[in-house]
A and B are shown apart, each in its own frame.
Chain A
Amino acid sequence: DAGVIQSPRHEVTEMGQEVTLRCKPISGHNSLFWYRQTMMRGLELLIYFNNNVPIDDSGMPEDRFSAKMPNASFSTLKIQPSEPRDSAVYFCASSFRQGRNTEAFFGQGTRLTVV
């Protein structure tokens, strides 16, 4: 398996523009997580899905952020409009969860810079 695939790896955009980050989880995994990593706040969980359904979005900073998982093999994280303070590395992770918890496998991240 190729692992969790994120695209793009790097994104530079102007303030006010819409940004869409993409994630393909590992085949067969039924949970998907979006994390944000910054120097100031470390690694924060934004939202996670179980069987394509959003379970906990309490970490989503504000209404400008939205995430979707239309099927088991694809998820998007959208920021509209983007702001400079959204600059961070965004990670997607997936895992297989059924009763017992298991580890999450991370993608290589998308480094977002909003200027």
Chain B
Amino acid sequence: AQSVTQPDIHITVSEGASLELRCNYSYGATPYLFWYVQSPGQGLQLLLKYFSGDTLVQGIKGFEAEFKRSQSSFNLRKPSVHWSDAAEYFCAVGPSYLTGTASKLTFGTGTRLQVTL
């Protein structure tokens, strides 16, 4: 069964500092990986996704993520955090192709980012 682990429940960084949010996944085939962001009271917004090709993926709002198959990881990074980045971040994994009923995404438990000024 597919699963996602986000080991950090809560992270605090200073504005302007770099950020890395960890995500490890378990999946038996080629995964389709996502990072979503959820601001308070809002739905989830897609930041970036990885399907194949270049393992370094660029997303919106200056975020990037690197897929490392050997480590089963898909960590999210940003070189300089802004106060508006404070939110909850979710990593998700799913199959790259529809395979019967196995086409749903599995989400991690999320990492709450706090940004100090």
Give the contacts of B67-117 with A (CB-CB under 8 A).
90, 94-98, 101, 103-110
B92 to chain A, nearest CB (A): 9
**Beta-carbon contact of A42 and B43 below 8 Å:** no
**Beta-carbon contact of A43 and B107 below 8 Å:** yes
> Are A56 and B101 also in contact (CB < 8 A) when A101-B32, A106-B43, A108-B42 are?
yes
Give the contacts of A75-101 with B (CB-CB under 8 A).
91, 93, 97, 99-101
Q: Assign chain A's interface to a size class.
A: 20 to 34
**Beta-carbon contact of B45 and A42 below 8 Å:** no
> Are A97 and B98 also in contact (CB < 8 A) when A103-B34, A105-B46 are?
yes
Query: Complex: how many Å from CA A70 to CA B32?
Result: 30
> Are A107 and B43 also in contact (CB < 8 A) when A42-B110, A101-B95 are?
yes
Give the contacts of B21-36 with A (CB-CB under 8 A).
32, 34, 36
Query: Complex: how many Å from CA A111 to CA B51?
Result: 32
A42 to chain B, nearest CB (A): 4
**Beta-carbon contact of B105 and A104 below 8 Å:** yes
Query: Complex: how many Å from CA A108 to CA B39?
Result: 10
| Residues of the A chain whose Cβ atoms lie less than 8 Å from the Cβ of B108 | 42
**Beta-carbon contact of A43 and B110 below 8 Å:** yes
Binding site for A on B (CB under 8 A): 32, 34, 36, 41-46, 49, 51, 90, 94-98, 101, 103-110
Q: Which of A43, A45, A101, A105 contacts B96 (CB 8 A)?
A: A101
**Beta-carbon contact of A45 and B43 below 8 Å:** no
Of all chain A residues, which has the CB nearest B36? A106
Query: Complex: how many Å from CA A56 to CA B1?
Result: 15
| Residues of the B chain whose Cβ atoms lie less than 8 Å from the Cβ of A91 | 43-44
**Beta-carbon contact of B104 and A48 below 8 Å:** yes
Query: Complex: how many Å from CA A48 to CA B103?
Result: 9
A94 to chain B, nearest CB (A): 12
Query: Complex: how many Å from CA A99 to CA B44?
Result: 24
Query: Complex: how many Å from CA A13 to CA B9?
Result: 31
**Beta-carbon contact of A100 and B43 below 8 Å:** no
Query: Complex: how many Å from CA A43 to CA B106?
Result: 9
Of all chain B residues, which has the CB nearest A92? B43
Q: Mark A29-45, 1 if CB is under 8 A from B, else 0.
A: 00101000000001101
